[in-house]
Structure 1
């Protein structure tokens, strides 16, 4: 990505996403960048592939493996059981690292089965993908923090990693003088609850992933790597305005172990998968 494209965000998208961008000086540092995403940490969040998965689940997994992906985040089973998905993953030499499970299930009687399914999939983390809109108040987020701590303890007792929360833009808003996302960061037990940071939605909501990684060390084991087009829409990773090189420079502090590609509305999911993989596999930071 060049400096001109990054500079666009300062005028077209404003401060909300500017925190996720670098400067021309940072872009000039390419020659000194040596780190890379480990191949075992480069995955695909399967929501991106929901259209082909609906008609050919195993074939879609096989094509992702052929591209080079090592891991997947499960989001929607398309009529398959956890055991059936595990068999298809094993046959295509992919590994599930997490599954998105609705908040109502996590806070209700369905949690034990959901945790068992995480084990069946061979994954490590159960992820709450969103909170109901009515909960976007300080009181609602404090209630969610209590529920996350409870469910995170159940996950730990089941031998899994911490429960994770996946953010959207509204989760970063300030309501009644309080930043909602900060409530979750402050009022959840770091041993029980972590975060799957969606970097697009963080930038859209005005948060700076780089700062989050540094200020809240080891809280972000997984990322949704999603790029932003100049008009604020979704883009294949590497074709938009987000400065992943700068962002990933502090990822170690955040404890990032999985970089999961996502695109909410790809015109061609396999083209998106290929373009995004090529960019991330070659990226040095």
Structure 2
């Protein structure tokens, strides 16, 4: 058995995935529909990420959007993007921002939003059109505080779910650094329901935390519905996709057919945001695995 197949098998048998394997559920998911990479995506060089599942987190382009919102959105469309993930609307109302997206044939598929004032957030989501959203940040000093946060997160996720929005949590590295021997991420996972909270894995931050993205994916099998695809240079800094050290082909190959909905390009500190966006789109569009 190859190393990759053995790793995948062992990872699936651990944690919460173990019960699913015992019930035969994972085998069904891995061999049937719901794929993030459909059969039509097989090709001589390997599978690929379907372009309709590629998006970009607009935080990557925040400086360009602040300087020229319509011009930057138009440039993203010219690169080939059809989907974006929101991080605010840059001083525009939800309706105004939606009109700009429509003008350039862009679609908001996801957003980073908080967990307060849910009624207004739901109204904005319906205007903007996205049905996936994530809490982008929490950093707390004790396991008790993380537990309280997780319970509030779950309550917000339930409210969003009832409104037709799938709500999740986006990781950084610090959720995987133990406090008194306990990882905050595990506290979030234990104190939230799979029905209410999915996970948006930022692959850069998993690697930065010293976590294998594939093993961590299967440790939370079925809950990981989105990837932030962000590369890491050898010195640990952010890098444009394909120029760093993360083996995305391995991650995608070993998590294929498992229901990941969105592959979202991101770079926290780009020197040329539109160049970064172009490199990221072309890398994901051309990647074979």
- TM bin, normalised by shorter chain, reads 0.7 to 0.9
Q: SS of the residue aligned with 1:207?
A: coil
| TM-score, with length taken from structure 1 | 0.83
Aligned match of 2:78: 66
Structure 1 gap segments, 5+ residues each: 1-30
Aligned match of 2:186: 182
Residue of 95, 99, 110 corresponding to 2:107: 95
After TM superposition, which residue ranges in structure 1, 4 or more long, deviate above 6 angstroms?
none
Aligned match of 2:123: 116
Q: SS of the residue aligned with 1:241?
A: coil
1:137 deviation in Å?
A: 2.4
Q: SS of the residue aligned with 1:89?
A: helix
Residue of 272, 278, 285 corresponding to 2:282: 278
Aligned match of 2:159: 154
| TM-score, with length taken from structure 2 | 0.82
Confirm whether residue 202 of structure 1 aligns to residue 212 of structure 2: no
1:269 deviation in Å?
A: 0.5
1:48 deviation in Å?
A: 0.4
Q: SS of the residue aligned with 1:177?
A: coil
Kindly report the root-mean-square deviation, in angstroms, between the aligned alpha carbons of the 2 structures. 1.6
Aligned match of 1:34: 46
Q: SS of the residue aligned with 1:252?
A: coil
Work out the number of aligned pairs and report it.
Answer: 247
Distance 2:205 2:273 in 1: 20
1:116 deviation in Å?
A: 1.4
Distance 1:49 1:154 in 2: 30
Aligned match of 2:149: 144
Aligned match of 1:264: 268
